[in-house]
Amino acid sequence: MKKNFKSKTYSDAGVDLDAAAKIKEKIMHLTHPTLGKNVFSGAGGFGGVIDADPKSNFLLVSSTDSVGTKQKIAEAMQIHNTIGIDIVNHCINDILPSGATPLFFLDYIGISNFNTEIISEIVDGLSFACQTSGISLIGGETATLPGIYHDNDYDLVGFIVGMVERKNLITQKKVSKGDVLIGLPSSGLHTNGYSFVRSIFEIDNNPTVLNDRVPGTSESLGEILLKPHRSYLESFKSNFNFINGLSHITGGSFNKNLPRVIPDYLSVDLDLSSWEPPAIFKYIQSSGNVTDEEMYRVFNMGVGMIAIVSEDNASVMIEKLNDSWIIGEIVKRVDKRGVNFLD
């Protein structure tokens, strides 16, 4: 992979991860006074955890997110059902780190006009993903907002609620020095980094580039970019008892998401030599002259979820998850870095 030369950055595409981190800190400060004694965790984690009934053995876990500008690829390809699958699976993956299984899902579609075909395709994807995961799509909102959304633009947001048995809640306290990190592959970019990709390939101005074949594959750029976000529910729902931590490698990639699930006094040694990033990431990097540092800061690089287990349980988990591999280990933190990238 190319190194040490002037390159395109995520900030060039209009997304400033550092600014995003600062505003999230501000939001956490502003929302803290709203957190009652029944809140186990609020903003900052992957999912909010609340004790809705002290007499119950179960806690509720919730999360919300959007598909981001992946919608622009769907619009250019005129394929909208996969976007529905994306948002359901993304939200499922955001409550898994608490050890939760999903109960129900709601959606929000903001659109410039009531385009029956587009809305029906989106909901078809939502329904398919919910049925596949055994959860109910119990409601939602479709808002027509001309002047905010234009032409065929739309926004798709998902809301999920799941539950976890009180004694099985996964927290940072379970993670210890010497624990092993086990990676599971992504199905592609999932739902992050699309503004960067659109900028690199100038897709908004030249959507025909989506028909170009990605080197090293038999698929077009558009086909790979629209691959649905993988759900890891089936991988983990019967294996939570082996898990000390789970990190969904989503927006902000490794630097942001691994520190969210480990104590402040620990860090991660991530072994970059343990896997080969899929061809799509190499194509993005070479096309945009992107540095290694920026690639691993923005994209999942082929890793969609990382499980943290004790050294004794590592071989058991590798056997149970046949598409997994050891990707690193938990170490004592010696500086401000939460993740150490090792070649």
Q: Is the pLDDT of residue 43 over 70?
A: no
Is the C-alpha dihedral spanning 225, 191, 231, 143 positive or negative?
A: negative
pLDDT band at 39 (very low <50, low <70, confident <90, very high): confident
Q: What is the average per-residue pLDDT within 150-169? A: 93
In this prediction, what percent of the chain has a pLDDT beyond 70? 94
Asked whether the predicted pLDDT for residue 339 surpasses 60, the reply is: yes
pLDDT, tens digit, for every residue of 76-134?
A: 999 999 999 999 999 999 999 999 999 999 999 999 998 899 999 999 999 999 999 99
Which pLDDT belongs to residue 322? 85
The per-type count for the chain, helices as H runs and strands as E runs, is 11, 12
> What's the CA angle centered on 307, arms 302 and 311, to 5 degrees?
125
User: Do β-strands 266-271 and 339-342 pair in parallel, antiparallel, or remain unpaired?
Assistant: parallel
| pLDDT reported for residue 55 | 87
pLDDT surpasses 70 at 4: no
**In this predicted structure, what is the pLDDT of residue 1?**
40
Higher pLDDT pick, 174 / 8: 174
* Position with higher pLDDT, 336 vs 296: 296
Cβ partners under 8 Å of residue 233, min gap 6: 92, 93, 96, 101, 102, 133
For residue 297, is pLDDT > 60?
Answer: yes
Q: What share of the chain is helix, strand, coil (3-state, %, to 5)?
A: 40, 25, 35
Overall fold of domain 35-169: 60s Ribosomal Protein L30; Chain: A; (3.30.1330)
Question: In 3-state terms, what secondary structure has residue 252?
Answer: coil
What pLDDT is recorded for position 6?
58
pLDDT in tens, 209-258: 999 999 999 999 999 999 999 999 999 988 899 999 999 999 889 999 99
What is the percent of the chain where pLDDT is above 90?
Answer: 78
- What is the structure's pLDDT at 74? 96
Q: How far apart are CA 296 and CA 59, in angstroms?
A: 34
| Overall pTM > 0.75 | yes
Distance CA 231, CA 186 (A): 9
Asked if residue 286 has pLDDT above 90, the reply is: yes
Task: Check pLDDT > 70 for residue 150.
Answer: yes
Please report the pLDDT score of residue 44 as a whole number. Answer: 58
Domain formed by 173-342, architecture: Alpha-Beta Complex (3.90)
* Mean pLDDT over each residue of the chain, to the nearest integer: 91
Identify which of 332, 299, 87 has the alpha carbon closest to the alpha carbon of residue 186.
Answer: 299
Please say if the pLDDT value at position 15 is more than 90: no
For range 174-182, the mean pLDDT: 97
Asked if pLDDT for residue 19 goes beyond 80, the answer is no
Q: How high is the pLDDT of residue 313?
A: 95
Between helix 279-288 and helix 194-201 the angle, nearest 10°, is 50
pLDDT at 265 > cutoff 60: yes
264 vs 37: CA distance, rounded Å: 23
Give domain limits for the chain. 35-169, 173-342
Does the pLDDT at position 187 exceed 80? Answer: yes
Mean pLDDT, range 279-307, rounded to an integer: 97
Residue 42 confidence (pLDDT): 57
> Using CA atoms, how far apart are residues 245 and 123, in angstroms rounded to an integer?
32
